[in-house]
Amino acid sequence: MSEIPSVIIGCRECERENKEMRFAHGVIPFPTTTAYKKNELFKLEQDYTCPFCQDILEITPKIIKMCRTLIDGYSHIVAHPKATEITSPDTNCFIPHDRLYPSLEAFFKEHGSFVKGIDGKLFKNPKEDLKLIHDAMNDFDTEKWLLVIECAGNPEAYLSDSTLWFNLFEDDL
Ligand SMILES: [Zn+2]
């Protein structure tokens, strides 16, 4: 398992190719992501180069700020191509990159649900944290790059079909 808290970065194209190869040939997948533990976040201040296609993700100050702040938060943060997934032990939601909401309550209300008090359960500083996410997610190509913040406050690892197998390798790297 990757260690929590940590920030995980990867290139979606190489990950996709890797998965296809695995399914087609049954070969052991290679890791296409890199995990940074909390005390390694300074390494993110250099740009990230995909070790396979050599494409470069420019790690901007907004991205660093989001990672440094939310790694100590209550929720895992996952960059999907068009939305951010926010996961706490009992809540999971997706907010689109193209809108800045004043609160999650406002977001849910717009979608017909009234979820009182949800902001304080998912974020330490809801308004500021939502802005950090919005600013950072619009500062890089989320269609191209995967970014996951596994935070200190949610002890359950973020699991997706992609993270499951790369977690197997992180301890050896
Ligand atoms: Zn790549």
Cα-to-centroid distance, 92 and ligand 1 (Å): 28
Single-letter residue type at 56: I
Whether the link from the prior residue into 89 is cis, omega within 30° of 0, is: no
For residue 52, the number of C-alpha atoms closer than 13 Å in the C-beta half-sphere is: 15
Cα-to-centroid distance, 29 and ligand 1 (Å): 14
For the segment 90-138, what is each residue's pLDDT rounded down to a tens digit?
A: 888 999 999 999 999 999 999 898 888 999 999 999 999 999 999 999 9
pTM of the model: 0.86
pLDDT at site 159: 65
Ranges of H-type helices in the chain = 12-25, 61-70, 104-110, 118-122, 126-137, 161-170
Tokens of 100: 């800045």
Domain edges within the chain: 6-168
Q: How far apart are CA 32 and CA 18, in angstroms?
A: 8
Cα-to-centroid distance, 53 and ligand 1 (Å): 4
For residue 16, the number of C-alpha atoms closer than 13 Å in the C-beta half-sphere is: 8
